[in-house]
Structure 1
Amino acid sequence: MFKNLINSWRKKNLIDKKYEYLFDTPPKDEYVCLDCETTGLNPRKDEILSIAAVHIKKNKIMMRKTLNIFVKPSKKITEESIKIHQIRPVDLQNGKDPNEAILELLEFIGNRPIVGYYIKFDIAMISKYTKKIIGVSLPNRQVEVSSMYFKTKKRSSDYEFVDLKFDTILKELDIPELGKHDALNDAIMTSMIFLKLRDLSPANSTFYTG
């Protein structure tokens, strides 16, 4: 009920009513897995450099329905950030304007739930832009794969440590590594994690975290 109230308030704040579809009931058993590469880890001051997303339908990753966009930052990226995301200035020369990239992403996502690894950060980064462009933060439901993985681990007590690193989850689930710090590869690997964990989870489990 609280979620419905928030969404009703958000709909009233939409600048463009064209985007009311974001609040519609999503299609059954469809998801979008996304990943962003950014200049840093602070949504308030950092920027998106690339966005990738892939459709998931039932138990399939729809490789013909992928999105992979480079985004032009407002300022020069630092050497320190290049070491992390491995995106060079030359890669961004033909990048899209942030507003154009975000609108393309919204069309791709639609009203589907969004799957990701520590997805709240990606949603926070994207919402920084959507608030300016359409007036509201991204309203889609969220599915956090690290939480799904955590629920599958048997623990002797509530205080037992569970390693939630991305590499650890890949290894534990026997999922191939496609290459790190590439947004599309990360989205595909996260999609495989989601499908594998969904099969391992109880039938009545709920995956939504937001």
Structure 2
Amino acid sequence: MIRNIIRSFQKKALKDKSFLYLFDEAPKGEYICLDCETTGLKPNKDEILSIGAVMIKDNKVIFRKNFNIFLKPSSSVNAESIKIHQIRPIDLQNASNPKDAILKLLEFIGPRPIIGYYIKFDITMISKYTKKYIGIKLPNESIEVSSMYYRTKKRSSEYEFVDLKFDTIMKELDIPELGKHDALNDAIMTAMIFLKLKDKTPAKTTFYTN
């Protein structure tokens, strides 16, 4: 009920009605697994440097249906952040204008649910751009793979610690490791996590409003 009210307000706030397709019913069995590399972890001041995404359809990762793009930052990338995301200035020489990149991403995602590892951060970062360009935050539902993994772990009490680090989940599920700190590779690995967990626990969708 609340979600429908919020979506109704979002539709009215949409600057460009050509993006109404974001509110369509998602194609059955289709998801988008997504990851962002950013200049830092503060959405109010940091920027997206790259976005990688891949489609899941009928319980398969559709590798040919992928999205991989670099975004041109507003200022030079500092040395400290390069240590984290490993994106060098030379990698950004032919980067896309942020508006072009985000609008292409929206076209790729469509109305499909978005899957990710700590996906709330990625959605918050992307929404900073969509709010500016089309007037609304990203309206898609999302699925958090770390929460799916958590629900598969048997615990002796509700206070028992569960290691939710990405590497730990990958190892536990016996998923091959691709190159780290690459948005597309991270999206593909997360997609494989989702498919491994999908039959063990129902995927709970979330709609972020903040």
Show the counterpart of 1:89: 89
What code does the residue aligned with 2:13 have?
A: N
Q: Retained in 1: the 8 A contact 2:49–2:73?
A: yes
Distance 1:75 1:52 in 2: 22
The unaligned stretches of length 5 or more in structure 2 are none
Q: For residue 205 of structure 2, what is the amino acid of its counterpart?
A: Y
Q: Which residue of 1 aligns with 2:5?
A: 5
Partner of 1:22: 22
8 A Cα contact 2:143 2:203, kept in partner:
no
Q: Kindly report which structure 2 residues correspond to 1:165-184, keeping only aligned pairs within 5 A, or say none.
A: 165-184=165-184
How far is the alpha carbon of 1:209 from its aligned partner? 2.3
Match of 1:209 in 2: 206
Question: Where does 1:1-210 land on structure 2 (aligned, <5 Å)?
Answer: 1-201=1-201, 205-210=202-207
> What is the CA–CA distance in structure 1 between the aligned matches of 2:48 and 2:135, rounded to whole Å?
19
* TM-score calculated relative to the size of structure 1: 0.97
Paired amino acid for 2:206: T
Separation in 2, partners of 1:44, 1:67: 25
- The whole-number CA distance in structure 2 between the counterparts of 1:25 and 1:185 is 28
Q: Is the 8 A contact 2:148 2:203 kept in 1?
A: no
Q: By how many angstroms is 1:206 displaced?
A: 4.2
Q: Which amino acid aligns with 2:42?
A: N
Q: Distance in 1 between matches of 2:70 and 2:175?
A: 26
Task: Tell me, in whole angstroms, the C-alpha distance in 2 between the residues paired with 1:163 and 1:126.
Answer: 27
User: What amino acid is aligned across from residue 14 of structure 2 in structure 1?
Assistant: L
Q: CA deviation at 1:200?
A: 1.8
1:24 offset after TM fit, Å? Answer: 1.0
- The CA deviation string for residues 57-103 of structure 1, in whole angstroms up to 9 with x for no partner, is 01100001001001100001110000000000000000000000000
Q: Contact 2:22/2:140 (CA < 8 Å) preserved in 1?
A: yes
Q: Distance in 2 between matches of 1:206 and 1:47?
A: 29
The aligned amino acid for 2:109 is I
Question: In structure 1, the residue corresponding to 2:205 is in which secondary structure?
Answer: coil
Deviations 1:112-141 (A, max 9, x none): 000000000000000000001000000000
1:200 counterpart SS class: coil
> Mind listing any 5+ residue stretches in structure 1 that lack a counterpart?
none
Please state how far the C-alpha of 1:207 moved relative to its aligned partner: 1.9
- Taking the aligned partners of 1:185 and 1:26, their CA distance within structure 2 comes to 24
In the alignment, residue 60 of structure 2 is paired with which amino acid?
K
